[in-house]
Amino acid sequence: MASPYSKEQLLTMYRKMYLIRRFEERAGQQYTLGKIAGFCHLYIGQEAVAVGPNEALRPDDYMLSAYRDHGQPLARGSDAGMVMAELFGRGTGYSKGKGGSMHIFDIEHHFYGGYGIVGGQIPLAAGMAFASRYRNEDRVTVCYFGDAAANQGSFHETFNMASKWKLPVIYICENNRYGMGTAISRTSAVPEIHKRAAAYGMRGEPVDGMDCLKMYEAVKDAAAYCRAGKGPVLLEANTYRFRGHSMADPATYRSKQEVEEERKNDPIPKLRDYTLKQGLAQDAEFEAIEEEVKAVVDAAVKFADESPEPGLDELWRDTIVAEGEEDVRPRERVLGVKVTHWPKYPSGQELKVTWDLEPREQAEQADKKAGLSR
């Protein structure tokens, strides 16, 4: 059977997954060299969960994540050097070194941030999706969170509202089986997170998170569903992190054997095998991509390492927006390039709100039925 994917699509996905892998390996190394400090949560093993969905989305769809947040912006197209510089705490990072590993924001690429409080980004995504409906746009919002966030109140409160108001938001639960050092099955009455969608009358499905193409298909389908105004979708990406929760985690709560077993499922060779089998590319092409990516990542480390720390004058910036102050466009600020894809919103005079969240007739009928008159 012929592949439904073009060579270009497959190689793009491969390149991005390989980029994340190499980037994270180097980030881990730089952490051990003391160049990166604080918490540093690596994405190694979960690459398919970032890359598959991104290729199924439009560039102007919104995306946000938790604190394991290096993978998604790289998949979206963020500058690897500026992401690395942020991890290094340098002024050339996306957030001028103020956010660090847990708070990558690249608004130009519609990546609305990494959030450090478990589950804290879940309501934000619903609000962004709400704004899309409010403005009658067909944009979707994709929100990543970990399996352990599913036990937060924010998860339940938001799912209720998102479903009730049919908000165009795709929630991707990255179920890597452990919330830090605790297996999700040990703390959850229903460890299959996708089943919880049923409680809110919402679509919920499991996906093989170790397979980039399956992630692609699932999100492609979910995005079409959202854009059609049918409401939110919960996808449970069953995945695995090959590393500890953070750099300081010895991961003694799982056996070596388990990790070895999962490594056989590595999404990167899997996509390469598929492509080779389909006869769409040769080994040499993959090797060329790998060399190219290695150079990109090494350049990213060099860029970060050679970048200065933020100036002390930055201390007092970015807490309160001063009158007339513009938003900062990082690539413009750091690389001096013209940023053209910055999000633009209609003014309060241009905007016409046509959405009726709770249609008047519907409300009046309900009242009539109940014998009420308004």
The reply to whether 7 sits near another protein by the rule CB under 8 A is: no
* Member of 9, 12, 134, 227 binding another protein (CB under 8 A): 134
Pick one of 123, 183, 265, 278: the residue that binds another protein (CB under 8 A).
123
How far apart are alpha carbons 124 and 144 in whole angstroms? Answer: 11
Q: Which stretch binds another protein (CB under 8 A): 25-33, 189-197, 204-212, 270-278?
A: 25-33
224 binds another protein (CB under 8 A): no
Cβ-contact 301, 30 below 8 angstroms? yes
Please report whether residue 158 would count as binding another protein according to CB under 8 A: yes
Residue 5 within binding range of another protein, rule CB under 8 A? no
d(CA 199, CA 145): 19
Q: Which of 124, 149, 184, 193 binds another protein (CB under 8 A)?
A: 124
Helix, strand, coil shares of the chain as percentages rounded to 5?
45, 10, 45
Secondary structure (DSSP) of 131-198: HHHHTT----EEEEEEGGGGGSHHHHHHHHHHHHTT--EEEEEEE-SEETTEEHHHH-SS--GGGGGG
Pairing of strands 182-183, 178-179: antiparallel
Through-space distance between the first and last CA atoms of the chain, rounded to whole angstroms: 63
Q: Which of 258, 273, 309, 318 contacts another protein by CB under 8 A?
A: 318
Tell me, residue by residue from 31 to 70, as one string, x for binding to another protein by CB under 8 A and - for no binding: xxxx--xx-----------------------x--------
From the CB of 302, what's the least distance to another protein, in Å? 15
Query: Smaller CB distance to another protein: residue 299 or 357?
Result: 357
Can you tell me which of 190, 224, 228, 353 binds another protein, judged by CB under 8 A? 353
When asked if residue 323 is in the footprint of another protein (CB under 8 A), the reply is: yes
Q: Which is nearer to another protein, 12 or 253 (CB)?
A: 253
State in angstroms the smallest separation of the CB of 264 from another protein. Answer: 15
Sequence-distant (≥ 6) Cβ neighbours of residue 41 within 8 angstroms: 67, 68, 69, 101, 102, 245, 246
How far is the C-alpha of 284 from the C-alpha of 315, rounded, in Å? 49
Q: How far is the CB of 8 from another protein (least distance, A)?
A: 28
Identity of the residue, 287 or 325, whose beta carbon is nearer to another protein in the bound complex: 325
Q: Give the integer Cα–Cα distance in Å for 354 and 363.
A: 17
